[in-house]
Chain A
Amino acid sequence: QKEVEQNSGPLSVPEGAIASLNCTYSDRVSQSFFWYRQYSGKSPELIMSIYSNGDKEDGRFTAQLNKASQYVSLLIRDSQPSDSATYLCAVNIGTGNQFYFGTGTSLTVIP
């Protein structure tokens, strides 16, 4: 089992809809969770970080963490064509500083 798993998609949503991205992880002691957006040929950029169970909102983005079920999700409200990218879930594994990425979910927002 991989440490971090995501549905690779592709996920397509119409403009203005809610895009829902999911991620599961294997290590119960993981404490830090991140969502990154990566445009083709570019480096990842941080969207959200979440450390506690529940929801965390930042503008159109909401991260949700459920440690008991070992999943973290990202909701994008009012999706825009510029949101079209690959979204990477990253989780720290164990108690070290290393963190691992999921395979990424490709999102396309259709105008």
Chain B
Amino acid sequence: GAVVSQHPSRVICKSGTSVKIECRSLDFQATTMFWYRQFPKQSLMLMATSNEGSKATYEQGVEKDKFLINHASLTLSTLTVTSAHPEDSSFYICSARASYGYTFGSGTRLTVV
């Protein structure tokens, strides 16, 4: 089945630094990828839709200058959390549409200290 590989699985960074999260579709081409954020005991919240070769579409309330998305190829999308703050600590998950539905990466647990 379609696999999305997400790295890193865990990252701890200092406040004010930037963190890059990568998602790769391993055996299919993903023209569109989705980025979600999940706080403890809450559901997944769509942050942005990443389109290959064009600008990402951000959901209302998500700062595009803080969460930089790059989708330069059909198999790779990256999310960079810039100038991270403790309130950015969360579980970040990417998703892409495969033939049978949407498949998810394994998630990245970001902790900003």
Interface residues, chain A, CB within 8 Å of chain B? 32, 34, 41-46, 49, 88, 90, 96-104
**Cα–Cα, bound, A46→B6 (Å):** 17
B34 interface residue per 8 A CB criterion: yes
Contact (Cβ within 8 A) A46 B101: yes
Interface residues on B, range: 20 to 34
Give the shortest distance, in Å, between A35 (CB) and chain B (any CB): 10
* Majority DSSP secondary structure for residues of A touching B: loop
Contact (Cβ within 8 A) B49 A97: yes
User: Which residues in B have their C-beta under 8 angstroms from that of A41?
Assistant: 91, 109
**Cα–Cα, bound, A53→B44 (Å):** 26
B89 interface residue per 8 A CB criterion: no
**Cα–Cα, bound, A99→B102 (Å):** 9
Contact (Cβ within 8 A) B105 A43: yes
* Majority DSSP secondary structure for residues of B touching A: strand
Known A-B contacts: A43-B106, A46-B102, A104-B43. Give 20 more (CB < 8 A).
Answer: A32-B101, A34-B102, A42-B107, A43-B105, A44-B44, A45-B104, A46-B100, A46-B101, A49-B100, A96-B49, A97-B32, A97-B34, A97-B49, A97-B97, A99-B102, A100-B46, A101-B43, A101-B44, A101-B46, A103-B42
Give the shortest distance, in Å, between B9 (CB) and chain A (any CB): 10
B84 interface residue per 8 A CB criterion: no
Give the shortest distance, in Å, between B13 (CB) and chain A (any CB): 19
Contact (Cβ within 8 A) B34 A103: no
B90 interface residue per 8 A CB criterion: no
Give the shortest distance, in Å, between B48 (CB) and chain A (any CB): 10
Give the shortest distance, in Å, between A34 (CB) and chain B (any CB): 6
Contact (Cβ within 8 A) B34 A43: no
B112 interface residue per 8 A CB criterion: no
